[in-house]
Structure 1
Amino acid sequence: MNIEDMLIGFETLSRYGITLSSEKRLVIYNSLILIKNDSHFKDIFLWGIVRGLNADFYIAYGYQKDALIGRIFYYSTNCIDWFLLPEPKLDDMQFALRCSSKFQGDPSFAVQIEPEEMTKETLMKIVMNEETEQELKPEEAEEAEGEGDGDAIKSEGKIKEEDRLAAVVYMINQEAFILPRGALYKRYDGVIIDNKAFEGLSFIEGDELRNYLHLRVPQEKWNTNMLTRNEYNCAIDFLDTIDADKPEGLWIMKTGSEKKILYLKHLLWQGYLFYHIMKTQTYGSFYSGDGRKNLDVPFMM
């Protein structure tokens, strides 16, 4: 959520038990405003909280020009000192998926990972390979390709909580973080910006999953949305819709306050919550959980 909307944001999220004290909100706001000014960010957001046993990780991000590919992520344990979140590596994603223990809250704490065989091809599918290949650094992508698609990657070792945190944030961004259709606008030069003309979804539009988009670089072919929409607009329909997510029923939709507020929950990443106040520009996403993927989804359907 945008830090300028934290008051109404946490008021809306409180229905599902996601709260933050006024003192904590004030500390976060003041510290992130300093980062915004020093880094010349256009906007800065509070992404969420990854809960730990001894301390929690607070995640934030901002951007200077492009609202999608220009995002820079930070983390903090005290809401005052913020550190850059490193770029996730393929091995870190594998280890993060296999790590069943909770976070400790110490960035330098190393977790031992038990041996397990997993191929690069399998892992790339799990963490959405098209997107991974696009966003990993050239040398990392080259290393990920290896000599063959089925080559085994590192199966045991240690992972620092800082690296595990980066991998978890990346995967949640890929699978869960969303926004309403029309909230972002793609300019003629390809730069993606906040859509000042966005007036919110209507009550009818809000009931359809196809009007919610993944906040990630598109993975579907460019003409996928065009073929499924009669009212296709290339300036706002350039992102993937969530109605095609598998398995079916992955998204849980709820309404509140006389159906004026819509909530969407993600079953794979429990703790993620999206909200939108219908017919207004107010919307936001927030993650508050332990950073562990829910692999019991097939049994919940």
Structure 2
Amino acid sequence: MQAEYLHQYLPLVASTGLVLSPEQRATLQVSLEIVKKNYKFSRVYFWGKILGLTADYFIVIGVETDELRGRKSLYSLNCMDWKLLPPATDEMIERSMRVKGRFMGDPSHEYDTIAVKKSDEEMASLELKVKEEERLTATIEQINREAAIVPRGAFIKTPLEQIHKNRSFGGLSVTEAGKLQSYLHFTEPVILKKKSQLVQANLEDSIDFLNSLEDDELKVFWSLQYERGSKLVILQSLLWLGFNFFHVPETSQYGSIYMGLGERNIDFPFMI
């Protein structure tokens, strides 16, 4: 959620148990303005918090020009001192996802050797040294790829192929806000999924450049519900427990936040 609206938006997801202490909110309000100025970001988002055993990681996303491609991640252990994370590569994500268990809360912590399955008969212990800082940036990227969403029409693609906020976005209607097809994955699609001819007739190239949740192979990963008498819509990811998206229909208010362990929900098959 956008940093300057943190105090306004946090209460909208408080019913899901995602809260920050008054001290943390006050500290973030000051420090994120400093982050925006020092790194020359055009916009700063509070991404959320990953819980560790000895300390928690507070995460923010800074945007330079392009809202989708020009993003940088930073973390802090005290909401005041921020450190830039390196970009996550596919190789980094693959290594980090082999690590199991809780985050320690120490960026310099190095995980033990990981057993890698080379074939059905052979297990090999390779020296895949993974530091927690590397695991942190890989986890953030993985959550962004699989859970980060925006309402349809909230962003536009310009003729120069840049992604910007749509200033004319006035929100989804109450009816449309209750449909998965009204929400788009906010990650650059490897392949834009094909639509039926009937659906294509209602699409616009400038806003339909992302895949919708309706196209997901497993739509059951999402829980959508109205709250406050249809004045608020909450979307929760059942794959990444702790990820919550909100939208106030017929307004431009929307956002998302993650507060969790930074682990995929491997128990999901037993929940359905």
Give, as a single letter, the amino acid of the residue that structure 2 aligns with 1:179. V
Of 17-26 and 281-290, the range deviating more from structure 2: 17-26
Equivalent position SS for 1:116: strand
Deviation at 1:227, TM superposition (A): 6.3
Give, as a single letter, the amino acid of the residue that structure 2 aligns with 1:74. L
Q: 2:186 aligns with which of 184, 194, 215?
A: 215
Q: RMSD of the alignment, in Å?
A: 2.1
Give, as a single letter, the amino acid of the residue that structure 1 aligns with 2:22. S
Q: 2:249 aligns with which of 236, 260, 278?
A: 278
Give, as a single letter, the amino acid of the residue that structure 1 aligns with 2:153. G
Instruction: Give structure 2 stretches of 5+ with no counterpart.
Output: none
Counterpart in the other structure of 1:32: 32
2:21 matched to 1:21? yes
Deviation at 1:109, TM superposition (A): 0.6
Equivalent position SS for 1:74: strand
Give, as a single letter, the amino acid of the residue that structure 2 aligns with 1:80. M
Give, as a single letter, the amino acid of the residue that structure 1 aligns with 2:225. K
Of 216-225 and 168-177, the range deviating more from structure 2: 216-225
Cα distance in structure 1, aligned partners of 2:162 and 2:256? 22
Counterpart in the other structure of 1:231: 202
Cα distance in structure 1, aligned partners of 2:93 and 2:191? 22
Counterpart in the other structure of 1:56: 56
Equivalent position SS for 2:46: strand
**Aligned partners of 2:116 and 2:124 also within 8 Å:** no
Deviation at 1:171, TM superposition (A): 0.4
Equivalent position SS for 1:203: coil
Deviations 1:126-146 (A, max 9, x none): xxxxxxxxxxxxxxxxxxxxx
**Aligned partners of 2:178 and 2:225 also within 8 Å:** no
Deviation at 1:24, TM superposition (A): 1.0
Cα distance in structure 1, aligned partners of 2:249 and 2:39? 33
Q: 1:202 aligns with which of 170, 173, 191?
A: 173
Deviations 1:103-135 (A, max 9, x none): 11110011114312269xxxxxxxxxxxxxxxx
Cα distance in structure 1, aligned partners of 2:193 and 2:225? 30
Cα distance in structure 1, aligned partners of 2:158 and 2:254? 22
2:178 matched to 1:243? no
Give, as a single letter, the amino acid of the residue that structure 2 aligns with 1:256. E
**Aligned partners of 2:114 and 2:125 also within 8 Å:** no
Deviation at 1:85, TM superposition (A): 1.0
**Aligned partners of 1:95 and 1:113 also within 8 Å:** no
Deviations 1:237-275 (A, max 9, x none): 111111121323111011111111001111111110000
Counterpart in the other structure of 1:158: 129
Deviation at 1:190, TM superposition (A): 1.2
Cα distance in structure 2, aligned partners of 1:230 and 1:153? 53
Cα distance in structure 2, aligned partners of 1:154 and 1:237? 45
Normalising to structure 1: TM-score of the pair?
0.84
**Aligned partners of 1:116 and 1:156 also within 8 Å:** no
Cα distance in structure 1, aligned partners of 2:239 and 2:88? 20
Give, as a single letter, the amino acid of the residue that structure 1 aligns with 2:6. M
Q: 1:192 aligns with which of 159, 163, 182?
A: 163
Of 48-57 and 220-229, the range deviating more from structure 2: 220-229
Counterpart in the other structure of 1:149: none
Cα distance in structure 2, aligned partners of 1:226 and 1:180? 22
Q: 1:261 aligns with which of 232, 244, 259?
A: 232
Normalising to structure 2: TM-score of the pair?
0.92
Cα distance in structure 2, aligned partners of 1:226 and 1:216? 24
Percent of pairs identical after alignment?
35
Describe the shift of the 1:87–1:225 C-alpha distance in structure 2 as closer, same or farther (beyond 3 A): farther
Cα distance in structure 1, aligned partners of 2:218 and 2:237? 11
Instruction: Give structure 1 stretches of 5+ with no counterpart.
Output: 120-151
**Aligned partners of 1:111 and 1:161 also within 8 Å:** yes
Of 249-258 and 18-27, the range deviating more from structure 2: 18-27
Equivalent position SS for 1:115: strand
Counterpart in the other structure of 2:108: 108
Deviation at 1:221, TM superposition (A): 3.0
Deviations 1:274-300 (A, max 9, x none): 000111111001000000111222222
* Higher fraction of helix: 1
Describe the shift of the 1:256–1:224 C-alpha distance in structure 2 as closer, same or farther (beyond 3 A): same
Counterpart in the other structure of 2:4: 4
Q: 1:171 aligns with which of 120, 128, 142?
A: 142
